[in-house]
């Protein structure tokens, strides 16, 4: 069993427990009462064909399977506010508990603290989780191509759009990029971390990004250590980066986001 398969198996078990406590009908009622979703596609520059500036998706991330404990994060709302003040366009909140130490409570806290789009970062494996994300105020969900069939990917993306939300459709290989493009993904992430081995290969982004046509927002995921990594991704086609570890382990995340945005925007300007 791969790391991804193991994580998804745990997510399904935890989902079953939540479904026993809160029915889909109850979630749908809560979603209907939630404030309208914010437009993450626009926030990431999707409506600007030039996309001259690098956008940052900053992540509230306590733990990871590859590194273990990263940060305690006693106050996720305060951290999210720092991210926003540093210029982040979207806040990502890990809600997977077993491997990442996240929770829907973290999502609730962040949603209440910021007025920019919020991503529910989890291993979406059932429509219930999309309704759940909307009920808790999320504007974006993550759809991992490697974890879904073509039919599921199309169904989940359609539901996301039906609810007025956006999805980051995450890819790792050329075949997955083709599947994301075929289903009409508006935001495509290229994750340079191999979800079978957890190894990082930053060259994967440069290899795959050219196969994404004009139109979708292109996000580089994983492997951001410093401004040089951001510059590398931006010069090879990234419109945005998704970064967690480098921010939660930094004493000055606000300043780091500002630095990353400057490095990425300079690379875009030189393309």
pLDDT in tens, 147-199: 999 999 999 999 999 999 999 999 999 999 999 999 999 999 999 998 888 88
Q: Which ranges constitute the DSSP H helices of the chain?
A: 3-21, 24-33, 40-43, 76-86, 104-113, 127-135, 150-162, 174-182, 203-208, 227-235, 245-248, 253-269
List residues with catalytic annotation: 59, 61, 121, 170, 191, 221-222
Pairing label, strands 240-243, 55-60:
parallel
Q: pLDDT value at position 229?
A: 97
Structural domains in the chain, CATH included, are: 3-269 (3.20.20.70)
Backbone φ, ψ for residue 94 (5° rounding):
-70, 130
What does the pLDDT look like over 98-145, one tens digit per residue? 999 999 999 999 999 999 999 999 999 999 999 999 999 999 999 999
pLDDT digits (tens, 9 = 90+) for 26-63: 999 999 999 999 999 999 999 998 899 999 999 999 99
DSSP 8-state class, residue 115: S
- Residue 69: pLDDT band (50, 70, 90) is confident
pLDDT band at 71 (very low <50, low <70, confident <90, very high): confident
List helix spans (H) across 22-149: 24-33, 40-43, 76-86, 104-113, 127-135
- Residue 197's pLDDT is 83
Angle at 268 between CA 250 and CA 211, to 5 degrees: 100
d(C-alpha 13, C-alpha 124), whole Å: 13
Tell me what pLDDT residue 271 has: 84
Measured distance CA(259)–CA(253) in Å, rounded: 10
For the cut 80, the answer to whether the pLDDT of residue 88 exceeds it is yes
Q: Check residue 67 and give its pLDDT.
A: 83
pLDDT at 64: 84
- Residue 1 in this model has a pLDDT that exceeds 80: no
């Amino acid at each position: 069993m791969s790391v991804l398969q193991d994580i998804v198996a745990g997510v399904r078990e935890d989902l079953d427990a939540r479904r026993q406590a809160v029915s889909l009908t109850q979630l749908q009622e809560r979603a209907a009462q939630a404030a309208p979703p914010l437009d993450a596609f626009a926030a990431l520059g999707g409506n600007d064909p030039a996309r001259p500036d690098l956008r940052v998706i900053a992540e509230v991330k306590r733990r990871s399977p590859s590194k273990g404990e990263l940060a305690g994060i006693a106050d996720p709302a305060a951290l999210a506010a720092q991210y926003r003040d540093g210029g982040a366009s979207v806040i990502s909140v890990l809600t997977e508990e077993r491997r990442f130490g996240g929770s829907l409570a973290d999502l609730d806290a962040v949603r209440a603290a910021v007025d920019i789009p919020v991503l529910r970062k989890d291993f979406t494996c059932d429509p219930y989780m999309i309704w759940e994300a909307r009920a808790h105020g999320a504007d974006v969900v993550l759809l991992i191509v490697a974890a879904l069939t073509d039919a599921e990917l199309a169904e989940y993306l359609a539901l996301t759009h039906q609810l007025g939300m956006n999805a980051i459709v995450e890819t790792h290989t050329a075949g997955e990029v083709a599947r994301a493009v075929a289903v009409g993904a508006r935001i495509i992430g290229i994750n340079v971390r191999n979800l079978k081995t957890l190894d990082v290969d930053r060259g994967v982004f440069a290899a795959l990004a050219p196969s994404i046509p004009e139109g979708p927002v292109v996000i580089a995921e994983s492997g951001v250590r410093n401004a040089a990594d951001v510059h590398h991704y931006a010069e090879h086609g990234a419109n945005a980066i998704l970064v967690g570890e480098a921010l939660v382990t930094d004493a000055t995340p606000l300043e780091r986001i500002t630095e990353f945005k400057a490095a990425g925007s300079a690379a875009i300007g030189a393309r």
